[in-house]
Amino acid sequence: MPHATPSPITAPARVVFIGAGPGAADLITVRGARRLALAEVVLFDALSDPALRDLAPTARWVDVGKRGFGHATGQAAINALLLDACRLHHHVVRLKGGDPSVFGRLEEELETLRAHGISCEVVPGVSAALAAAADTQRPLTRRGTGRSVSLTTAMTHLGALQASRTADTEVFYMAGRQLAELSDKLLEAGWPADAPASVVSRAGWPDMLATDHNVATLADATATHAHRPAVVTVGAGAAPVGVARAAADAAIALQDPIA
């Protein structure tokens, strides 16, 4: 008696969000690289290093790069592409620049997948602020002077520019095109005109550029970093190592003799 043909076993799709890091392919984590190697399809953004493809050479690579900020239709299209990928594949990777949790629209994509019952995993990555601190060898926290760090987008969802002074070190993402305006807003927010400001573009790449300014002269960085992704670090973490150390040590010794 003929056996009925078994229906194909369709394992449910799983999406792994992987932080690619800010640039060179070797800044992805080991876990990220291992998960990437299993991918059947990889949805990636424009900033990703093409050399990352070598980590998943047989996967289908789909460029979903949305340039700019706040394009709801772009995000809706990406959500739809993710769901399409899940219908066709089991191992779906969503590769994001830097860390997926930092200005990566992770919330929208997780919500979409969860609403369809698709299980997800998030693998962290090196965010641009951390790569910039490493490239310039400027620790984001400093004993005595830098106890808090804020990762801030200068752009509101409506495209307006905003600045704040909520932490000892503030790192601004997505402000590279409006440095003069950022300078004005920082002064309005109460930053001293001579507070250090470091601009790093293409952090983590071999052609990284870093320039030093203060809050009042930030606009001077515009031409050097034009058309390159850049972060602006302001406050304690922007100062070159050594410059503020002696003064900070003296202050700590006064406050707390055993520190």
Looking at the annotation, which residues are catalytic?
45, 66, 174
Applying CB under 6 A, does 134 fall inside the site for ligand SAH? no
For the chain, the helix, strand and coil percentages under 3-state DSSP, each to the nearest 5: 35, 25, 45
Q: Return the range that interacts with ligand SAH (CB under 6 A); candidates 6-14, 84-92, 224-232, 236-244.
A: 224-232
Amino acid at 222: T
As beta bridge partners, residue 254 has: none
Query: What strands lie across the sheet with 119-123, from one edge to the other?
Result: 60-63, 41-44, 91-96, 14-19, 119-123
Phi first, then psi: what are they for 155, rounded to 5°? -95, 130
17 binds ligand SAH (CB under 6 A): no
Residue 90: what residue type? H
Residue 249, both tokens: 């040590």
Q: Answer yes or no whether residue 23 interacts with ligand SAH by CB under 6 A.
A: yes
Site string for ligand SAH, 60-99 (x = CB under 6 A): ------------------------------------xxxx
Nearer to ligand SAH, 122 or 231 (CB): 231
DSSP state of 119: E
Report the C-alpha gap between 63 and 44 in whole angstroms.
5
CB nearer to ligand SAH: pick between 57 and 206: 206
Least distance in angstroms from the C-beta of 107 to ligand SAH:
13
Binding mask 34-53 for ligand SAH (x = CB under 6 A): -------------x------
- Site residues for ligand SAH per CB under 6 A: 22-23, 47, 96-99, 102-104, 127-128, 132, 173-174, 176, 200-205, 229-231
